[in-house]
Chains A and B, each alone.
Chain A
């Protein structure tokens, strides 16, 4: 017992890394789909879904892409699920990039989705538009204007018909791994749009107070939020819109359990050691 205790106390961190690695990688391997657990959507994620579902054809949705590849695992599946849902609803989608490192990632993702047979009818400038890069801090100043987007962006397209300022936006979704979207919440007072947030798991608690006050209409939080959204869209349209988030949930589950196990073992070792020392 004493030997085990000593070994556990001085456990090589590489063993911890190996177990975490295996818990993440094994559920992602082909043939391990039986490890996927169904996620039940939370009311916050459902709020976003309901908002988009309630839009009419031709309404405008703004997607503020404020994340770079470091948050790709959590936020890219969210974007893909939102974008597919918007295309299903035939609403106009305006995408602007507040993160310079996110532009190529975003454009590539849009290109892949619009290349799918189901969505290949979507045309840039008519059904969706990439509004390019607007630096954080400058974006608020530009969008906080009463002149039209078209003039500001020097972009052409039928998509701008009837959409001149943020007042004409029905719903805005902010994707980020930071607290940057607080400013978008403040802007609602002036332009009266509804705002939903899709953030990394670690940022979720920061936005809970805004959800409670009703300033934010819906929040998709972390990989789970993305998996929930994939399920909501799949259930609604009775097609397989499950993507990397749903698959990743099994990986997330097992890695959580491994960390949970380490915390428990760490505490047992601590108490046994404490008792031994008196």
Chain B
């Protein structure tokens, strides 16, 4: 039954979702809402599992003094945010929102912006014209880079034109191939799951 029920669920949901494109009616609307709510509930349960997992992992870190102070800080922040959310809600102007806007937002933006430094370092060390192919890639990337900044057009008026051509023609052609390949793969996977041929999601 461990295998049969998930396969059966896959077939039934497949029929419901596929049929939705051809059959209108209240039943279809309700089943969509049912699945959408199900997704939300699964998300909430996922958060609970995540909090438990982080708390458990950090408990051992605190217990065995493995970066103890970082672990204490991490757990304290999680529970502080939960506490603030519970006592005053999450809407604008609440302590939760203040913490989110003034701590979380700058932190996340900072971590993402660190990429600029790594890209510069990596470009210096590894972006080299070692062959004809890499030379073409290098020239194309420099043109595209220059075409994206206002100064590019000032250096040579044709830089934005060439940059646009690179994006619209060779780059777009490659992207189309990737998109087609991806969608064909998705359709194949969908059919395989629908007919119970694909069982990797059942740990097989």
Known: A138-B36, A209-B172, A263-B142. A258 touches B120 (CB 8 A): yes
Q: What is the bound-complex CA distance between A274 and B167, given in angstroms?
A: 32
**Contact across chains for B167 and A205 when beta carbons are under 8 A apart:** yes
CB distance from A92 to the nearest CB of B (A): 21
**Contact across chains for A144 and B39 when beta carbons are under 8 A apart:** no
Q: Which DSSP category, helix, strand, loop or mixed, fits chain A's interface?
A: helix
CB distance from A89 to the nearest CB of B (A): 25
Q: Is B105 an interface residue (CB 8 A)?
A: yes
**Contact across chains for A262 and B150 when beta carbons are under 8 A apart:** no
Q: What is the bound-complex CA distance between A262 and B122, given in angstroms?
A: 10
Taking CB atoms, residues of chain A closer than 8 Å to B90 are 103-104
Q: Is B6 an interface residue (CB 8 A)?
A: no
Q: Is B56 an interface residue (CB 8 A)?
A: no
Q: Is A122 an interface residue (CB 8 A)?
A: no
Q: Is B123 an interface residue (CB 8 A)?
A: yes
**Contact across chains for A270 and B128 when beta carbons are under 8 A apart:** yes
Taking CB atoms, residues of chain B closer than 8 Å to A105 are 101, 105
Q: Could you say which of A72, A135, A262 contacts B109, with CB atoms under 8 Å apart?
A: A72
Query: Which A residues contact B (CB, under 8 angstroms)?
Result: 11, 13, 16-17, 19-21, 24, 37-40, 42, 68-73, 101, 103-105, 107-108, 111, 134-135, 137-138, 141-142, 144-147, 152, 190, 201, 204-206, 208-209, 212, 222, 224, 249, 252-253, 255-260, 262-263, 265-267, 270
**Contact across chains for B123 and A147 when beta carbons are under 8 A apart:** no
Query: Which B residues contact A (CB, under 8 angstroms)?
Result: 20-21, 24, 29, 32-33, 35-37, 39-40, 43, 90-92, 97, 100-101, 104-106, 108-109, 111-113, 116-117, 119-121, 123-125, 127-130, 138, 142, 145-146, 148-151, 153-154, 164, 167-168, 171-172, 175-176, 179
Extra inter-chain contacts (13) besides given A16-B117, A37-B151, A69-B104, CB under 8 Å: A16-B120, A37-B154, A104-B97, A134-B36, A138-B40, A142-B32, A190-B21, A205-B171, A258-B120, A262-B124, A263-B124, A270-B129, A270-B130
**Contact across chains for B116 and A255 when beta carbons are under 8 A apart:** yes
Q: What is the bound-complex CA distance between A17 and B153, given in angstroms?
A: 27
CB distance from A207 to the nearest CB of B (A): 9
Q: What is the bound-complex CA distance between A40 and B130, given in angstroms?
A: 35
Q: Could you say which of B39, B101, B112 contacts A138, with CB atoms under 8 Å apart?
A: B39
**Contact across chains for A253 and B172 when beta carbons are under 8 A apart:** no
**Contact across chains for A107 and B109 when beta carbons are under 8 A apart:** no
Taking CB atoms, residues of chain B closer than 8 Å to A38 are 150
B129 nearest CB neighbor, chain A only = A267
